Structure 1
Amino acid sequence: MNERAGEIALITNPTSGRGMGGRVRDTALARLRAAGLTVRNLAGRDAGEALDLARQCVDDGVEALVVCGGDGMVHLGVQAIAGTRTALGIIPAGTGNDVARYFDLPRTDPAAAADRVVDGLASGQVRTVDLARSGSKYFVTVMAAGFDAIVNERANRMTWPRGQMRYNIATLAELRTFKPLAYTLDLDGEQRRLEAMLVAVGNGPSFGGGLRITEGALLDDGLLDVVIIKPMSKAGLIRTYPRLFKGTHVTHPQYEHHRVRSVTVAAPGIVAYADGERFGALPVTVECVPGALRVLS
């Protein structure tokens, strides 16, 4: 490996945040270079090329991989650096930015976010946290495997409208016909069969722009937080939804919470999403990988 102290890679999703990614990148790039850093400025034509570029930078020994985008871009970067000594830097430019929330990073000021990267590199201030892993794939935030995943699937098939309204329409459309799902779970070897509205597996506490579905999840405890929302009426689901933003849904009688090292989630016809990205069809087995990620914070 060719060590390149002082060189970092900046990789951008220019379409994140409804096109904000490119503008945020320009501001951050100027700030990073003004601080004296040598920066590789990269953007793949698609996710596959972007991941190849990120992995090549890690192989070359860059000091940090800095991603400019939303949680999807963080997800991509993590696939390249999980389990390595390369640190992750984050310039938020998405709509949700849950990972940035985890580390209290500036979400609306790219210059300030770039300064955090510079300061972290100068001081060596790196936080080591866990990741969740299924096979060779990792995630940072939450894996959704129920009603929320079905909404994502519908929204991804829609071409209109764009932005958050597409997800609102998809939610209303699915809510009309949604019925509780039949799950089979393995929680650290304990088998469970049950019906539920959703099962969420959290490495961190929130997803979807601050929905604290796995409230109480810690990034460095070596455990995954599994939340089960048991059957409730459609009206009850709608009433409970706003409570997710504050994490107060934990007192609901249909809420169930487990902390495990490994979980297998199975339900027919469901495709799981993690970090807001399509993750894979159930069944999926997820394990916690302690200390797998180093983040400039």
Structure 2
Amino acid sequence: MDAGAGPVAGDVGLHEIALLTNPTAGGGRGGRYRDAALQRLRDSGLVVRNLEGRDADEAADLARASVADGVEALVLCGGDGLVHLGVQAVAGTGVPLGIIPAGTGNDVARYLDLPRKDPVAAADRVVARRTRTLDLARSGSHWFVTVMAAGFDAIVNERANAMRWPRGQMRYNLATVAELRTFHPLPYTLDLDGATRRVDAMLVAVGNGPSFGGGLRITEGALLDDGLLDVVIIKEMSRAKLVRTYPKLFSGTHTTVAEYEHHRVRRVTVAAPGIVAYADGERFGELPLTVEAVPGALVALA
């Protein structure tokens, strides 16, 4: 189990569940994994509503309608984007969320130590009916599980999402190289549980959990059950040093660089000009944004 995962909360009774799939996740893995997981779930005796939206808006409507209609769990077959969508439907309701990982990054699945290459084994975690209670982060009525990126990393996401080629991690690598040519440190104003911090920085990340982007451990040490957010600031550094520091994000060893700063807070407001923040890899909103930790807001089947 990942060190950031929440405690085992016990068993939950399940009879009828919804299985919502993004069939294009992971270059088509979503559809294949759904078929394998669906068979296992039904063989176990569960009644499964097999759902698939034509786009993100319809998928969100299906998720909310299923929860409102009383399904006993919402199970998602896809990547972190679909998990982000599903969390909006179940946060604070007590309805358990299950995951059949089929995306590229699968950070939430990493948090929960779910099988990421075996959909039948992942479905077995749903069948086992064991749960963990996790914190979520909230800004207004919008929730996230992993990390809110609000700086250089968010700008890279904006560029990568506009690119049609290549697919997967290489697209983000190319977007990173392109943005490095013109990026300058940003003037941030932060409110950290009432304390003001003004700093020129490369990025600010707000973590509910420790990683995003397929294992980039930007908020290393963040716990999913401590009722706190981890705010990481990477202060001004040269482009060359930023390039050298980037690989350290995969191991969490960037915490040793002199420009690294870390705060644990219950509530943070992040302001910087011209930045659209991303959370769970999805477009989240323009800064300034206020984010708060909400303890125990998510029940996960794990």
Uncovered stretches (5+) of structure 2, i.e. residues with no partner? 1-12
* Identical-pair percentage: 79
What does the per-residue CA deviation read over 1:132-164, in whole Å, with 9 as the maximum and x for residues that have no partner?
Answer: 000000000000000010001111122222332
In 2, Cα distance between equivalents of 1:70 and 1:27: 16
In 2, Cα distance between equivalents of 1:164 and 1:104: 21
Match of 1:108 among 102, 105, 117: 117
Provide runs of 4+ in structure 1 moved above 6 Å: none
Aligned length: 290
What does the per-residue CA deviation read over 1:191-226, in whole Å, with 9 as the maximum and x for residues that have no partner?
Answer: 111100000000000000001100010001000000
Uncovered stretches (5+) of structure 1, i.e. residues with no partner? none
In 2, Cα distance between equivalents of 1:77 and 1:108: 21
In 2, Cα distance between equivalents of 1:126 and 1:110: 18
**Aligned: 1:249 with 2:261:** no
Q: Which amino acid aligns with 1:82?
A: A
Q: Which amino acid aligns with 2:57?
A: G
Aligned to 1:219: 224
Helix, strand or coil for the counterpart of 1:129? strand
**Aligned: 1:74 with 2:83:** yes
Query: Which one is further off, 42-51 or 162-171?
Result: 162-171
Aligned to 1:168: 173
Aligned to 1:278: 283
Q: Which amino acid aligns with 1:229?
A: I
Aligned to 2:184: 179
Helix, strand or coil for the counterpart of 2:178? helix
Aligned to 1:192: 197
Aligned to 2:49: 40
Deviation at 1:257, TM superposition (A): 0.2
What does the per-residue CA deviation read over 1:249-296, in whole Å, with 9 as the maximum and x for residues that have no partner?
Answer: 111111000000000001100000000000001101100011000001
Deviation at 1:5, TM superposition (A): 5.1
Aligned to 2:236: 231
In 1, Cα distance between equivalents of 2:171 and 2:217: 21
Helix, strand or coil for the counterpart of 1:62? coil
Match of 2:160 among 150, 155, 160: 155
In 2, Cα distance between equivalents of 1:210 and 1:168: 14
Pair 132,43 (structure 1): closer, same or farther in 2 beyond 3 Å? same
CA contact (8 A) 2:14 2:46 kept: no
CA RMSD of aligned residues (A): 1.0
In 1, Cα distance between equivalents of 2:14 and 2:180: 52
TM-score (ref. length: structure 2): 0.94
In 2, Cα distance between equivalents of 1:167 and 1:230: 22
